Chain A
Amino acid sequence: MTDNGKPKLAMYWASSCGGCEISVLNIHENILTVDEVFDIAFFPCIADFKVKDVESYPDGYIDVCLFNGAIRNSENEEMAHLLRRKSKVLVAYGSCAYEGCIPALSNLTTKQATFNKVYFDNPSIDNPDKVLPQMVTEVPEGDLTLPNFYHTVKSLDQVVDVDYYLPGCPPEPPQIWAVLQVVVGALTEGKPLPPAGAIIGAGTTALCDECTREKKEKAIKRFYRPYEIQPDPDQCLLEQGIICMGIATRSGCGALCPTVGMGCRGCYGPPDGVEDQGAKMLSAIASVMDVGHESMEEDDLEEVIQEAMDSIADPIGTFYRFSMSHSILKRVKNGKGDA
């Protein structure tokens, strides 16, 4: 193939849902501009290049690779290494590649428990011989192979070096378009790129800064499930006792979920200066709760605090909904998730 001098763009999905590709398509007519500016080097979604093409490229041939999806199996990891080698700039695109996303809730259980649930123990299964998928299966005609399903879901930066992170599940189209314009400016006009390791296509502070709901002093007595109350349409959801992760989440989406009356779940990851999103949420909640009073006996106080905390359903699966791979918890120990 010949080089027409245009910057080379790649987009690849590892273990993902396809929503990141849809988010790129949702820049709508701007997709035509992307097609004009870039030369597509690998993009299973919109072009026909194959792995053997990528393998044949010189190292660093791809200018920008948007890599989405988590590392779930051996094949995902092989592709991450290949694309790292072939790309000048590797972007962890979307929550899965950035920090594991919802599929990394799998790190709260085990591979064995997952196989058991999917293939042995469910209402519609018909598997009397306890068949499990195998990496190599001998059929009468020959061997059939499958990739190795990993025990742990990893983020992209846990297997290769990553230059930038573009958060969101999926990233919001205006942010994607803004990032692509910066990249184009850098590649065509020599404008500066953000510093290596930066989080791009998002704000720096907490989501609350862009949420239009009215905020007052937070003094939360107990928490409610989203179906237990009809929230006031204008007041901060957390103040009303509805778990909203905005306080521990990076801005950038425009506070879409709170706008329609649903608490944020943190898909843009933690804001600047926060290492662990779940820990941040926990400490934020502790500081806004208003239970008991100073004159109470210690035992009584402990009890009311416990009661208030118990009104939070599934703190780990909520506070780490999107960031499990990057969390300080990482995963449950082998076998502990079988219960």
Chain B
Amino acid sequence: MERITIDPITRLEGHGKIEIFLNEEGNVKNAYLQIPELRGFEQFSIGRPAEEMPRITNRICGVCPEAHHMAATKALDALFDIEPSSVVKKLRELFYSSFYVTDHTVHFYALGGPDFVLGPDSDPAQRNILGVIHKVGVDIGKQVIECRKRNHEVIQMLGGRGVHPVAGLPGGWSKAMTPEEQKVILEFAQQNVEFALFSLKLFDDIVLANQAYVDLIVSDAFTHQTYYMGMVDDQNQVNFYDGMIRVTGPNGKELVKYHAKDYADHIAERVEPWSYLKFPYLKDVGWNGFVDGPDSGVYCATPLSRLNASDGMTTPQAQEHFERFYETLGSKKTNGRYAPVHHRLATHWARLVELLYAAERMLELVQDPEITDPNVRPVVTSTPTEGIGCVEAPRGTLTHHYKTDENGILTDVNLIVGTTNNNAPIAMSIKKAAEGLIKNGEVNQGLLNQVEMAFRNYDPCMSCATHSLPGQMPLEIQIRDHAGNLVDTLSQYVDQP
């Protein structure tokens, strides 16, 4: 039996490794996604004051610290049993929307985009953000930099710092927005909406206008029928900041809709000895292995999942694009809901629809009459006990669960992080892509990027490489014989000339 090690990061960034085993005919027998990292926040947070958690847990991820900051802050609301005022909620959601704009922008332009803009089989040396800029023009590159810049300015203005914000407090926010800041943010929000519309147009021109790409998106190798999770408001429309957690099935029907505080009734996490990262599944269905279908508790929590689990978007232009997304991909509407789209590569498009929603939502909130109300920091006197906070992180539903003693010192912490939700589906996507490409022991060079595309659409956070500039993780495939001897090494990266 041959063995293929795809080691994007253990030798490089230390975040993930893929092992593919072939059978005697040289076809894929099994594939494993291994996460070699653990940092142990759940344990070392015990003994800390609960109110420090928004400032501690954002260090889980420096790419999406705003998501941890917000989930932790909401867990404090619950822990101290204090309902934030409407201005506090709006201010937090405004901050959070701005974060979504920058985060989704980076993924589309620097990570997912190059596969489409340059092409999945293009020269690997060009298939990165710089290649994108060369292809579509340097002005667009500058727009992307500008978009990151203005939104990080908002994050610092409202959250205190550009990375690892500090403003979240139980029931409140440490800093109100001034009318001067409001003016600046209003202008930024308008620019964000334009930028989102421009990005969707770019997706139209480059991807949807190209039949080969459309064929790739709807191809079987990149399709999985699983459950989908996403946060929805009382109208079952997408919301990133607050709402109920809705799970819909492969057939589009609602399996369950629950309060975030009841997460442990619906999600359980399995441990495998070969990975430090746990594998969550739906308790309502049960664990049935790394397989598709209605009998498998595997679920997905991504931009595609959020759209599939919802009935629509609350902002007008995002709703138009939501409908267009489903209509274009041939989804039929029954009882007011579109049938789910199962094509994983469509996640890139879904992410852009969310980008537009985040920009429009930001624009709505910054114009809210009470948004500059200075009363955002209540004095809290209640005795803390237990609290659960949940938001939609860009990479999936994020849950923080704290218990404390009567002094608010943490006694128990449980975290289910965005990408963790997708641990099993990513593993399945990798296996399916490998199965589709490796036949009779022939390993095609194109495998490397196709495998990357299989997991890249999830925007996995365990590999921070995929959150940053050139949009590809340095992948290497080692082919070993049954004795473990290296017989060949394939790499998609060319040495510099």
Contacts and interface: CB of A to CB of B under 8 A. Distances in A.
A149 B36 CA distance: 9
A48 B131 CA distance: 14
B464 A126 contact: no
B67 interface: no
B12 interface: yes
Contact of A256 (B161, B276, B379): B161
A262 B160 contact: yes
Contact of B474 (A18, A49, A313): A49
Contacts of A126: 268-270, 281, 287
Nearest to B283: A126
A124 B163 contact: no
Interface residues of A, number: 86
Interface residues of B, number: 107
Given A124-B280, A256-B160, A262-B160, A106 B493 contact: no
Interface in A1-41: 1-2, 13-23, 25-26, 28-29, 31
Contacts of B125: 48
Nearest to B495: A1
Interface in A111-134: 113-114, 116-119, 122-127, 131-134
A339 to B, nearest CB: 10
Nearest to A169: B164
Contacts of B467: 18, 21
Given A20-B62, A144-B274, A106 B377 contact: no
Contacts, number: 282
A313 B405 CA distance: 12
Interface string B11-41: 1111000010100000001101010111111
A17 B273 contact: no
B273 A173 contact: no
A133 B273 contact: yes
A32 to B, nearest CB: 8
Contacts of B474: 44, 48-50
Contacts of A259: 160
Given A18-B467, A44-B465, A118-B43, A257 B166 contact: yes
A147 interface: yes
A131 B30 contact: no
Chain B CB within 10 Å — which of A15, A29, A170 has the most?
A170
B49 A225 contact: yes
B160 A124 contact: no
B423 interface: no
A22 B62 contact: yes
B175 A260 contact: yes
A270 B431 CA distance: 49
Contacts of A288: none
A74 B366 CA distance: 48
Nearest to B45: A105
A25 B167 contact: no
Nearest to B106: A25
Interface string A70-86: 00110110010000000
Interface of A: 1-2, 13-23, 25-26, 28-29, 31, 44-53, 72-73, 75-76, 79, 101-103, 105-106, 108-109, 113-114, 116-119, 122-127, 131-134, 137, 139-142, 144, 146-147, 149, 169-170, 172-173, 225-230, 256-257, 259-262, 265, 313-314, 317-318
9 contacts: A16-B464, A18-B61, A48-B125, A48-B128, A123-B414, A126-B281, A142-B21, A149-B276, A314-B52
Interface of B: 1, 3, 9-14, 19, 21, 29-30, 32, 34, 36-49, 51-52, 55-56, 59-63, 65, 80, 124-125, 128, 142, 145, 148-149, 152, 156, 159-164, 166-167, 169-172, 174-175, 263-264, 267-276, 278, 280-281, 287, 377-381, 401, 407-409, 412-414, 416, 464-465, 467-470, 472-474, 476, 484, 491, 493, 495-497
Given A19-B163, A48-B124, 18 more contacts: A16-B464, A45-B469, A48-B470, A50-B11, A50-B474, A72-B39, A102-B59, A105-B44, A106-B39, A106-B43, A118-B278, A124-B269, A127-B269, A147-B14, A225-B51, A262-B160, A313-B49, A317-B47
